[in-house]
């Protein structure tokens, strides 16, 4: 996520514009946004608990999590969690940013949050539990899992935590902020900034410090030089990422990790992040050499980059990708396997079918699109920074189902 820039609103037409700009022959999508929640304050995330209750949980950046009962369009008056005294939210990219419920939440009541610590702006990942007497209110007792010092810059805090099918907890951290990663954190294997992290929060003895274990196949685990918690390196600001846990047609591939990495000044990218991968920043922005080092892009000692699966440029006022989800919903809004995502500045919602990027919807820039979320049926919701959550409805165009074959495709709008 980036600060708003002074871009004008670019009027995208849902018709012939797609064909001329994106080189498509398909019809534009027939989708719309159905209001779900409005009137909140600086909303940044929405998700479900996966516990069969069909409740939705909405994060407000200052430090509260609201719960919306099944069938309702109004949050409960009492927040699910209020940690505003622990959260620093003064910077546009600081605050309570991420929430992940344990895969066995219905049995153990455990959930995890990602926030900027009030005292010093450090990134904090912590565990909470639901109260024993009320499923709509959490206990306030906190177990801090990880504290990651962050430079004085307020940007590039990352913000997502999520569980993979392997049962491990993943967290995406920004490079520490400013521009061009001045401390070269993303390529430093001893720094937890600019990384995808993976830890084991199960079967941890009471009192163990830190209160997590290291997956034995993490690339720098044990005696291998580098921070044990690192899963992948070379990320700039993986603000929003998600797992695709659906089986692909004709394939057993599951648990693919889709990471939208916010670009510097020119290019936004999406990566399929794998264990031990190096996704290039700050040596590369997308597929473009930055000449910033520390390694050259070509020749002797060149950085071996895992290239993005696709990119888009900053044309038409676009500035910052907001990662979404691969669609596996029950209502057939999108072809299954389609990746749905957006741009923070223009408010555009895109889908990518494995070969082609399509503009689905041009949401007003005043909403500042900050997140996508899923309900328990796998339907996609859109979060606006202005306090709104809306649900995507309708039926998009139906290209061939996305098999997610490595394409390394560069999309140039």
User: HEC states along 264-286?
Assistant: CCCEEEEEEECCCCECCCCCEEC
The predicted structure's pLDDT at residue 26: 41
DSSP state of 85: G
> What six digits make up the tokens of 357?
């990027």
The predicted structure's pLDDT at residue 156: 97
**Could you give the CA distance from residue 138 to residue 349 in angstroms, rounded to a whole number?**
33
Report the predicted TM-score, pTM, of the whole model to 2 decimal places: 0.90
The predicted structure's pLDDT at residue 30: 82
**Could you give the CA distance from residue 307 to residue 287 in angstroms, rounded to a whole number?**
7
Question: What number does CATH give the domain 16-410?
Answer: 2.120.10.30
The predicted structure's pLDDT at residue 386: 93
Short-list 306, 271, 264, 302, CA closest to 285:
264
**Could you give the CA distance from residue 236 to residue 234 in angstroms, rounded to a whole number?**
7
Residue 256's φ and ψ, nearest 5 degrees, are -75, 135
pLDDT tens, the chain, 413 aa long: 444 333 333 333 333 333 333 333 344 458 899 999 999 999 999 999 999 999 999 999 999 999 999 999 999 999 999 999 999 999 999 999 999 999 999 999 999 999 999 999 999 999 999 999 999 999 999 999 999 999 999 999 999 999 999 999 999 999 999 999 999 999 999 999 999 999 999 999 989 999 999 999 999 999 999 999 999 999 999 999 999 977 555 555 568 999 999 999 999 999 999 999 999 999 999 999 999 999 999 999 999 999 999 999 999 999 999 999 999 999 999 999 999 999 999 999 999 999 989 988 887 656 799 999 999 999 999 999 999 999 999 988 654 444 443 333 333 33
Short-list 193, 177, 260, 190, CA closest to 228:
190
DSSP output for 201-255: -SSPPTT-SSSSB--TTSTT-TTSSS-TTEEEB--S---EEEEE-SPPTT-----
The predicted structure's pLDDT at residue 245: 79
**Could you give the CA distance from residue 383 to residue 367 in angstroms, rounded to a whole number?**
8
The predicted structure's pLDDT at residue 14: 31
């Amino acid at each position: 996520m980036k600060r708003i820039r002074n871009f004008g609103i670019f009027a995208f037409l849902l018709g012939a514009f797609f064909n001329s700009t994106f080189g498509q022959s398909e019809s534009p999508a027939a989708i719309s946004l159905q209001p779900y929640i409005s009137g909140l304050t600086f909303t940044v995330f929405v998700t479900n608990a996966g516990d069969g209750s069909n409740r939705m949980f909405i994060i407000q950046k200052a430090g509260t999590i609201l719960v919306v009962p099944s069938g309702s369009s109004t949050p409960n008056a009492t927040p699910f969690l209020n940690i505003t005294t622990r959260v620093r939210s003064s910077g546009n990219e600081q605050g309570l940013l991420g929430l992940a419920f344990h895969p066995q939440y219905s049995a153990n009541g455990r959930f995890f949050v990602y926030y900027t610590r009030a005292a010093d702006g450090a990134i904090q990942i912590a565990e909470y539990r639901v109260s024993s007497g009320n499923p709509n209110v959490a206990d306030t007792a906190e177990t801090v899992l990880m504290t990651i010092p962050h430079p004085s810059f307020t940007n590039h805090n990352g913000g997502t935590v999520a569980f993979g099918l392997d049962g491990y907890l993943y967290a995406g951290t920004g490079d520490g902020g400013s521009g061009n990663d001045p401390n070269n954190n993303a390529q430093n294997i001893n720094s937890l900034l600019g990384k995808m992290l993976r830890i084991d929060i199960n079967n941890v003895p009471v009192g163990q410090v830190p209160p997590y274990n290291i997956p034995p196949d993490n690339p720098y685990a044990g005696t291998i030089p580098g921070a044990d918690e690192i899963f992948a390196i070379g990320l700039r600001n993986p603000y929003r990422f998600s797992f695709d846990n659906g089986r692909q047609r004709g394939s057993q591939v599951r648990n693919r990790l889709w990471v939208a990495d916010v670009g510097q000044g020119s290019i936004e990218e999406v990566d399929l992040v794998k264990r031990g991968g190096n996704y290039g920043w700050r040596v590369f922005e997308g597929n473009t050499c930055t000449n910033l080092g520390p390694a050259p892009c070509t020749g002797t000692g060149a950085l071996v980059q895992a290239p993005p699966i696709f990119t888009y440029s900053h044309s038409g006022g676009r500035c910052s990708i907001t990662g979404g989800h691969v669609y596996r919903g029950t209502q057939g809004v999108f072809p299954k396997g389609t990746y749905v995502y957006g741009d923070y500045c223009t408010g555009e919602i895109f889908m990518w079918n494995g070969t082609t990027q399509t503009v689905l919807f041009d949401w007003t820039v005043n909403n500042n699109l900050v997140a996508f979320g899923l309900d328990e049926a796998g339907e996609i919701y859109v979060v606006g920074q202005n306090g709104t959550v809306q649900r995507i409805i309708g039926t998009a165009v139906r290209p061939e189902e996305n098999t997610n074959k490595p394409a390394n495709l560069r999309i140039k709008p």
